[in-house]
């Protein structure tokens, strides 16, 4: 995969180029991992979708118009998975907190267990001796991308064959993936491990890897663990109760506002900025919050370019800011004379944690944090309470309701 500029223009060009393959060809070939630079049967749009430089809705519209609801069914379902995972995490925000806190414990254990630390290092450096796994580790670090099927195989081998802590594996992905998303990444690893849906897990199998890599890889007999159960026994308390969706505070008109540009939504020009009195703007770099460990430089560079592109399309000159001391946000807003901060909705994840920590200082300055919520999310998230099937059933209704055809 060749990563192009982190701009809306690049994302739209990639979208247009892939439209002819969103139909039956996608349904038939999407599971094939053909190797670095050969991912022609999947869109590779995820780095742009993750930042909403290109939105899920306009991607679905493109697929529907080119192939119709039947021909584009599988592609559209895959796009809806992104909204499902985000909504599921919003309904169970403690899952993110459990991952975050559990990762800190797992990383601390490496300081006291040299054998485990060496095993993690070998896995992350692609030196396990399992050829397919090592190749995927190398591809991830070098390109910032992995085919979705390879992500599943990799996670399964990490968890069940190498028997390494799943959260450290998820952190490895999150630190390197250009499309790294706290909900999709965390919940995908939980799903493979058997923690997301009780009684279900994903087992990497030699025949499956051989078939869908075009025989590039074929682990020999006994090289991969035979998986008969997930890790759900390690979390006997079960899933937390579903919580009501958080209601964001809407921006008020005619109030001096600081426009906060983050990588969670790069289409701020859709927010109706003409109805808000913008007195300043900040482009907030926050990719380093993904992990206690060092986040890959290409991830930060992609975020930085996306923030620049978002600011340019919003028509503002944005002051650069790095998410450091949370209280600094209130200081910057007060300096610019803002009485409210306006931004796109920030879902559960490291930036939401940072904004929670910033809340006391904002309250002390009487500065409101206001978020613009997309109707797309509000249409999907209420149904993300169990497995994907509940959202899948709603796709025709959402398509009709949003008048996407």
Indicate the pTM of the whole model: 0.97
- Provide the 8-state DSSP code for 382: G
> Tens of pLDDT along 329-349?
999 999 999 999 999 999 999
143 three-class SS: helix
What is the Cα gyration radius of the chain?
A: 21
Q: Mean pLDDT in the chain?
A: 95
pLDDT for the residue numbered 1: 52
In the beta sheet, which residues pair with residue 292?
Answer: none
Superfamily of domain 256-372: HUPs (3.40.50.620)
> Tens of pLDDT along 289-314?
999 999 999 999 999 999 999 999 99
Average confidence (pLDDT) over 353-378: 97
Work out whether the CA dihedral 101, 104, 107, 111 comes out positive or negative. Answer: negative
Tokens of 388: 């994907």
pLDDT for the residue numbered 239: 80
- Tell me how far apart the terminal alpha carbons of the chain are, to the nearest angstrom: 31
If one counts every other C-beta atom within 10 angstroms of the C-beta of residue 135, the result is 18
> Tens of pLDDT along 235-254?
656 688 899 999 999 999 99
Tokens of 12: 């739209």
Write down how long the chain is. Answer: 405
In the block, tokens 């995820």 appear at 46
pLDDT for the residue numbered 198: 79
Residue 282 main-chain phi, psi, to 5 deg: -130, 135
Taking Cα atoms as reference points, which of 352, 307, 295 lies closest to residue 86? Answer: 352
Q: For the chain, count helices (H), then strands (E).
A: 17, 5
Taking the C-alpha atoms of residue 288 and residue 294, their distance in angstroms, rounded to an integer, is 7
Q: Does domain 8-90+379-401 have CATH number 1.25.40?
A: yes
Cα separations in angstroms, 122 against 55, 89, 109, 111: 37, 31, 17, 16
> Tens of pLDDT along 105-117?
999 999 999 999 9
Q: Domain map of the chain by residue range? A: 8-90+379-401, 93-234, 256-372
Identical fold, 8-90+379-401 and 93-234: no
Tell which CATH architecture fits domain 93-234. Answer: Orthogonal Bundle (1.10)
319-322 and 340-344: which strand pairing?
unpaired
Q: Say if CB 255 and CB 279 are below 8 A apart.
A: no
The burial of 193, by beta-carbon neighbours within 10 Å (0-12 exposed, 13-18 middle, 19 or more buried), is given as buried
Q: Say if CB 166 and CB 158 are below 8 A apart.
A: yes
> Tens of pLDDT along 8-52?
999 999 999 999 999 999 999 999 999 999 999 999 999 999 999
| Cα 24–chain centre separation | 26
């Amino acid at each position: 995969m060749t990563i192009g500029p982190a701009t809306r223009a690049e994302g739209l060009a990639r979208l247009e180029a892939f439209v002819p393959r969103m139909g039956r060809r996608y349904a038939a070939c999407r599971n094939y991992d053909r190797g670095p630079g050969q991912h022609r049967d999947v869109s590779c749009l995820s780095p742009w979708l993750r930042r909403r430089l290109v939105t899920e809705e306009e991607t679905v519209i493109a697929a529907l118009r080119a192939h119709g609801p039947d021909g584009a069914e599988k592609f559209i379902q895959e796009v809806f998975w992104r909204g499902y995972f985000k909504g599921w995490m919003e309904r169970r925000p403690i899952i993110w907190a459990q991952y975050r806190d559990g990762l800190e414990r797992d990383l601390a254990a490496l300081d006291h267990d040299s054998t485990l630390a060496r095993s993690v290092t070998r896995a992350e450096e692609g030196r396990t001796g399992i050829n397919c796994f090592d190749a995927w580790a190398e591809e991830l670090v070098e390109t910032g991308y992995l085919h979705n099927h390879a992500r599943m195989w990799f996670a399964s081998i990490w968890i069940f064959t190498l028997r390494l802590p799943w959260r450290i594996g998820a952190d490895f992905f999150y630190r390197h993936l250009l499309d790294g998303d706290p909900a999709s990444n965390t919940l995908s690893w939980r799903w493979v491990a058997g923690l997301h849906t009780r009684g279900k897990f994903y087992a990497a199998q030699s025949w499956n890897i051989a078939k869908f890599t075009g025989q590039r890889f074929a682990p020999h007999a006994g090289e991969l663990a035979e998986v008969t159960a997930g890790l759900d026994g390690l979390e006997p308390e079960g899933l937390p109760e579903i919580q009501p969706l958080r209601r964001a505070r809407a921006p008020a008109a005619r109030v001096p506002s600081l426009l906060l540009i983050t990588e969670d939504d790069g289409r701020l020009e859709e927010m109706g900025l003409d109805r808000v009195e913008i007195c300043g703007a900040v482009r907030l770099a926050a990719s380093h919050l993904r992990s206690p460990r060092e986040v890959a430089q290409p991830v930060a560079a992609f975020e930085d370019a996306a923030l620049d592109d978002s600011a340019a399309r919003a028509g503002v000159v944005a002051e650069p800011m790095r998410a450091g001391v949370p209280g600094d946000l209130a200081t910057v807003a007060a300096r610019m004379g803002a009485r409210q901060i306006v931004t796109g909705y920030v879902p559960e994840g490291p930036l939401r944690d940072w904004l929670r920590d910033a809340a006391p200082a904002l309250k002390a300055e009487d500065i409101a944090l206001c978020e613009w919520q997309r109707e797309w999310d509000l249409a999907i998230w209420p149904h993300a309470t169990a497995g994907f099937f509940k959202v899948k059933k709603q796709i025709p209704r959402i398509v009709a309701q949003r008048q996407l055809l």
